[in-house]
Structure 1
Amino acid sequence: MPQKRRYTARRTTTRRKSRKNNNTTVILLAIVALFVASYFGYKRYVQYQNDTKVEMAQQEHSAFVKKIAPYAVELGKTYGVLPSITIAQAILESDWGTSSLATQYNNYFGIKGDDPSNTKVLQTKEYTNGQWITINGRFRVYSDFRESMKDHTKLLVNGTSWNSQQYKQVLQSKDYIDAALALQTDGYATDPGYTSKIIRIIQKYNLKKYDEGIK
């Protein structure tokens, strides 16, 4: 009898250990499952956030183009400046209308001026002697974006105060690629990558379609 009781006690202890091990395994599996679910859930959340940001950006970009394209076409018909160039420059210079110069002063093209009554001194970056430097520039202030767009067009048509023919090649260009190259050679911007940036924007957002019937 004592031996039988000892055998029963050993069996009971073994069953308890087995149940304990099983419980531990279940808990560990639950923790792993929770971790996996949380990990993939987080990845889905991050992907959703990224997709949402991309979609919002696309909507904002589309809205910006729709906002300025009709007037760019109107100016193109009147003055001969390709609308795709006008729109692409506005996108690049104003960062889709979000720059301080654009949001506060309706200047979409970084146009500078001399008259203190209609200009504002702001910091800007210029590419000089192979490097970017920060300088203070006096920029035009406009009542609305259309005024800025018209001033930009007239700048290309009339040139600068020191060279009325400065942007002659831009005006004579028959397509956006030639016009973008002319902007660089005629000295519109100091950025050495300006031409390629303008061309990429036009191609990516199919801005060429706005040039139909202009020239």
Structure 2
Amino acid sequence: MAKRRRKAKKRLSTTKTTVWILAIIVIFLGVYAGHHFYRIWNQQRIEQQAWEQDRQAKELFIKQVAPEAQAMQNTYHVYASITIAQAILESQWGTSKLASQYHNLFGIKGTGPNSRELTTKEYINGKWIVTKGRFRVYDSWSDSIKDHTKLMLTGTDTNQQNYDRVVKASNYREAAQALQDSGYATDPDYAQKLISVIKAYKLYNYDK
């Protein structure tokens, strides 16, 4: 009888030990899973905040340049959507050094004391290369937009009608292609990039 009691107590002790071990394992797994899911949730929250900040910054940039772009369209028939899209592409949403420090939104070249030498990328002989160029300096983004419109109207030193097709275009798609055909940028996909930006951010609404 005493022997059976000792065996029963031993089995009970073993059972309790097993239960405690299982409980500890369950608690550990619960803590680990909770920490794991928290890390995922926190990472998603951080990414969501970053996305929201980026969206707000882009919306703010569009709102800052749109009024002047529309004013130029109303007077000179240079599509506001094209002006805004070019400003986005050329200035990286106003964050490039040329745009943020020197208010040049369009990468317009310049000479003399009212210009600065900066590095830039050009598509030459089938590949992108980093080179240097001199770019105009403006007092404000508004002045940069005005000068961009002037460039569309008066052309280059060697061809005053260089951008006539841009001004005379019947829609933003034609204007985008005319910019590429006129050699505004060396990027072979320039027109399609402009059109994509206009469609993505519904910039065509600013043409109305």
Q: Could you say which TM-score interval applies, normalised by the shorter chain?
A: over 0.9
1:121 is paired with a residue of what secondary structure? strand
Report the equivalent of 1:161. 157
* Residue 21 of structure 2 is aligned to residue 24 of structure 1: yes
How far the C-alpha of 1:61 sits from its partner, in A, is 1.0
Match of 2:105 among 91, 103, 108: 108
Cα displacement string for residues 59-81 of structure 1 (whole angstroms, at most 9, x for unaligned residues): 11111111111111111112221
Cα displacement string for residues 14-53 of structure 1 (whole angstroms, at most 9, x for unaligned residues): 2111111111101111111112212222211111111111
Q: 1: distance between equivalents of 2:9 and 2:102?
A: 84
* Residue 25 of structure 2 is aligned to residue 43 of structure 1: no
1:81 is paired with a residue of what secondary structure? coil
1:73 is paired with a residue of what secondary structure? helix
How far the C-alpha of 1:10 sits from its partner, in A, is 2.2
1:114 is paired with a residue of what secondary structure? coil
1:123 is paired with a residue of what secondary structure? strand
Q: 2: distance between equivalents of 1:50 and 1:193?
A: 30
Percent of residue pairs bearing the same amino acid type: 42
Aligned 1:161-200 pairs, distance under 5 A:
161-200=157-196
Counterpart residue type for residue 196 of structure 2: R
| Stretch deviating more after TM superposition (26-35 or 9-18) | 9-18
Aligned 1:1-215 pairs, distance under 5 A:
4-115=1-112, 117-212=113-208
Counterpart residue type for residue 166 of structure 2: V
Q: 1: distance between equivalents of 2:35 and 2:153?
A: 60
How far the C-alpha of 1:12 sits from its partner, in A, is 1.8
Cα displacement string for residues 136-158 of structure 1 (whole angstroms, at most 9, x for unaligned residues): 11111111111111111111111
Counterpart residue type for residue 102 of structure 1: A
4+ runs of 1 displaced by more than 6 Å? Answer: none
TM-score, length of structure 1 as denominator length: 0.93
Q: 1: distance between equivalents of 2:191 and 2:29?
A: 54
Q: 1: distance between equivalents of 2:149 and 2:127?
A: 29
Number of residue pairs the alignment of both structures matches: 208
1:127 is paired with a residue of what secondary structure? strand
Counterpart residue type for residue 159 of structure 1: G
Cα displacement string for residues 125-170 of structure 1 (whole angstroms, at most 9, x for unaligned residues): 1000000000011111111111111111111111111111111111
Taking only aligned residues, the RMSD between alpha carbons, in angstroms, comes to: 1.1
Q: 2: distance between equivalents of 1:5 and 1:27?
A: 33
Q: Unaligned stretches of 5+ in structure 1?
A: none
Counterpart residue type for residue 199 of structure 1: I
Q: 2: distance between equivalents of 1:129 and 1:28?
A: 64
How far the C-alpha of 1:9 sits from its partner, in A, is 2.2
